[in-house]
Amino acid sequence: MTLAARLAAAQGRHSAPETVTPAPLAAPAAPAAPQPAAAAPAPRTATVAAPTDALARLKDRVVKALFERMGGRMNDPSLSEEQLRVIVLGELDEVVDEEKVPLSAEERQRLTATLADDVLGFGPLQRLLEDPTVTEIMCNGPEMVYVEQGGKLLRTGARFTSEEHLRRVIDRIVSRVGRRIDESSPLVDARLADGSRVNAIIPPLAFSGSTLTIRKFSKDPFGVDDLIGFGTLSPEMAELLHACVEARLNIIVSGGTGTGKTTLLNVLSSFIPDDERIVTIEDAVELQLQQDHVVRLESRPPNIEGKGAVTIRDLVRNSLRMRPDRIVVGECRGGESLDMLQAMNTGHDGSLSTVHANSPRDAIARLETLVLMAGMDLPLRAIREQIASAVDVVVQLTRLRDGTRRVTHVTEVQGMEGETVTLQDAFLFDYSAGVDAAGRFLGKPVPTGVRPRFTDRFAELGIALSPRVFGVAEAPRRGWS
């Protein structure tokens, strides 16, 4: 007998299955048997629903009793996660004992672990968060939970017991990073302890129920060899980008939502020498830099009174007084773009950032728009000259229809011709190779054969590039092949 059936039996509802069971056995004995057989499914449906309801009610009772017993200890900052978990498990055992439910040792242990996840963890999402094949989790209300696996969206069987259950999980996530979410501030960006990005939005803005989106990050950050293995980069492209970072060129990573901009920014940051001071600036800390000399800054939303906000732009300005060798901005999405460009133009070479755009040309146009959002009444030509002078390379990421993420352009920003910022592609993705039987793209990034002007800077700094980077075959000189 299952755990749900035991609960139903304990509540005195085990008689229903016994009256239904003989009906099919009597069917062969008489011609009139089809009539009772047709009526049988109705009681069966009821008996299936009952144990589930009984289990849900038991969980609700135990959780309520637990919160009453724990009181203020649930939010005691002096208790570590491990200490709190030990206390909660002890209290859970006592609460389950008081319920006097007939459970085997294994069922009791499983029930206690599930309830502990509900109280201390993330409920039905805990299993998905622990699954390394799941890269994104999307909750559209309490009953619809989707995941991204292998670049494809799939609906799961996970669900929350109610809207309140989902809200408790959201509150638990955002409170751990000092954020809040309520009717006066119904949307929030936050992060999990492992750096995974979290966005939540609740009614009245979310009409169909609270919506939670979690973009997971690998516990072991992807390196350049991983991206080459995935087909995101080619070895030649990796060698060129390594040289660009080493030569302190300013790089903008461009792409749409979910294309892997942050992952690529992490990889590019790994090329920065260990003896340089790096300042990272983000809305929610996501970058996982491996160097020791890193200062991580995070913006802050306004408090409940609408005061105390610290924006990305404030942090960019402040970072200029922190003696940075490199400034890494997680994403330019507003007036901070002007301050970032000015920093790039005033001695902070080698800075990195990302921007949302669909092509290198769109990235330049979007930077123009973002600079205008700073509120300065600057002529368009002055903005374009600033961009052309500050940005050296645009790396374009695209999520293809097979779910893979590929670098489709590595583009040099050459300067101005008249009123136009001139661009020159060094690498382009080869779409002409077609797709295989599984629908996966067979193409890869290929060099255009044009040698970028910034390679003259490599020669001045003594940075050697193998000729194969620009399409001439030669044995590899770096570690990628």
Q: Is the pLDDT of residue 43 over 80?
A: no
As a dihedral over the C-alpha atoms of residue 77, residue 213, residue 159, residue 122, rounded to 10 degrees, the angle is -20
Angle CA(28)–CA(32)–CA(33) in degrees, nearest 5? Answer: 45
The Cα-based distances of 257 to 233, 254, 261, 262, 405 in angstroms read 19, 10, 8, 10, 11
Predicted local confidence at residue 22, as pLDDT: 44
The per-residue pLDDT for range 272-293, each reduced to its tens digit, is 999 999 999 988 788 888 888 9
Mean predicted confidence (pLDDT) in 115-125? 78
The per-residue pLDDT for range 386-403, each reduced to its tens digit, is 999 999 999 999 998 888
Predicted local confidence at residue 480, as pLDDT: 58
Q: Are 163 and 209 in contact (CB under 8 A)?
A: yes
Q: Is the pLDDT of residue 326 over 80?
A: yes
Nearest to 336 by CA among 312, 357, 358: 312
- Bridge partners (DSSP) of residue 352 are 251, 328
The Cα-based distances of 346 to 129, 144, 375, 454 in angstroms read 43, 50, 21, 19
Spell out the CATH class of 124-215: alpha beta
Q: Which strand (E) or helix (H) includes residue 68? A: helix 41-70
The per-residue pLDDT for range 139-183, each reduced to its tens digit, is 999 989 999 988 789 999 888 878 888 888 888 888 777 778 888
Span of 128-137, 155-164, 177-186, 441-450 with lowest mean pLDDT: 177-186
Mean predicted confidence (pLDDT) in 306-312? 86
Please give the share of the chain, as a percent, with pLDDT higher than 70: 84
Buried/exposed 43-53: b ≥16 CB within 10 Å, e otherwise:
eeeebeebbee
Q: Is the pLDDT of residue 35 over 70?
A: no
Hunting for tokens 């030669």 — which residue is that? 474
Per the structure block, which two tokens stand in for 411? Answer: 């583009």
Q: Is the pLDDT of residue 33 over 70?
A: no
Q: Which strand (E) or helix (H) includes residue 139? A: strand 134-140
For 278, residues 6+ apart whose C-beta sits below 8 A from its C-beta are: 269, 272, 289, 291, 293, 294, 295, 324, 325, 326, 327, 328
The per-residue pLDDT for range 207-254, each reduced to its tens digit, is 888 999 999 877 778 889 999 998 899 999 999 999 999 999 999 999
Architecture of domain 224-470: 3-Layer(aba) Sandwich (3.40)
Per the structure block, which two tokens stand in for 45? Answer: 């449906």
Predicted local confidence at residue 250, as pLDDT: 94
Considering Cα of 193, then 130, then 264, then 222, what sign does the dihedral take?
positive
Angle CA(225)–CA(231)–CA(237) in degrees, nearest 5? Answer: 70
Q: How confident is the model at residue 315 (pLDDT cuts 50, 70, 90)?
A: very high
Instruction: Write down the pTM of the prediction.
Output: 0.72
> One-letter amino acid identity for 359?
S
The per-residue pLDDT for range 329-368, each reduced to its tens digit, is 988 888 888 888 988 888 888 999 999 999 999 999 999 9
Nearest to 255 by CA among 331, 359, 353, 337: 359
Nearest to 238 by CA among 429, 410, 433: 410
Mean predicted confidence (pLDDT) in 401-422? 91
Q: How confident is the model at residue 404 (pLDDT cuts 50, 70, 90)?
A: confident
Q: Is the pLDDT of residue 31 over 70?
A: no
Q: Is the pLDDT of residue 95 over 80?
A: no
The per-residue pLDDT for range 44-83, each reduced to its tens digit, is 433 333 445 666 677 777 777 777 777 666 666 677 777 7
Top pLDDT among 119 and 472 is at 119
Burial (CB < 10 A; 0-12, 13-18, 19+), residue 154, is exposed
Nearest to 310 by CA among 178, 196, 181: 178
The per-residue pLDDT for range 372-386, each reduced to its tens digit, is 988 888 899 999 999
Predicted local confidence at residue 122, as pLDDT: 83
Q: How confident is the model at residue 26 (pLDDT cuts 50, 70, 90)?
A: very low
Angle CA(136)–CA(137)–CA(142) in degrees, nearest 5? Answer: 170
DSSP-derived secondary structure letter, 328: E
Number of H helices, E strands in the chain: 17, 15
Residues carrying CATH 3.40.50.300, the chain: 224-470
Determine if residue 347 is left, alpha or beta; phi over 0 gives left, psi from -120 to 50 gives alpha, anything else beta. Answer: left
Nearest to 165 by CA among 106, 109, 117: 117
Burial (CB < 10 A; 0-12, 13-18, 19+), residue 157, is exposed
Predicted local confidence at residue 3, as pLDDT: 52
Report the Cα 196 to chain-centroid distance in Å.
5
The Cα-based distances of 267 to 109, 172, 223, 278, 291 in angstroms read 42, 31, 6, 14, 12
Per the structure block, which two tokens stand in for 466? Answer: 């193998």
Q: How confident is the model at residue 255 (pLDDT cuts 50, 70, 90)?
A: very high
Predicted local confidence at residue 244, as pLDDT: 94
Top pLDDT among 100 and 20 is at 100
Q: Is the pLDDT of residue 456 over 80?
A: yes
Burial (CB < 10 A; 0-12, 13-18, 19+), residue 377, is exposed
Q: Are 272 and 315 in contact (CB under 8 A)?
A: no
How many C-alpha atoms does 402 have within 13 Å on its Cβ side? 17
Per the structure block, which two tokens stand in for 219? Answer: 């516990």
Mean per-residue pLDDT of the chain? 81
Residues carrying CATH 3.30.450.370, the chain: 124-215
DSSP-derived secondary structure letter, 215: E
Predicted local confidence at residue 77, as pLDDT: 62
Top pLDDT among 111 and 204 is at 204
E strands along 220-330, which residues?
A: 251-255, 278-282, 294-298, 326-329
Q: Is the pLDDT of residue 42 over 80?
A: no
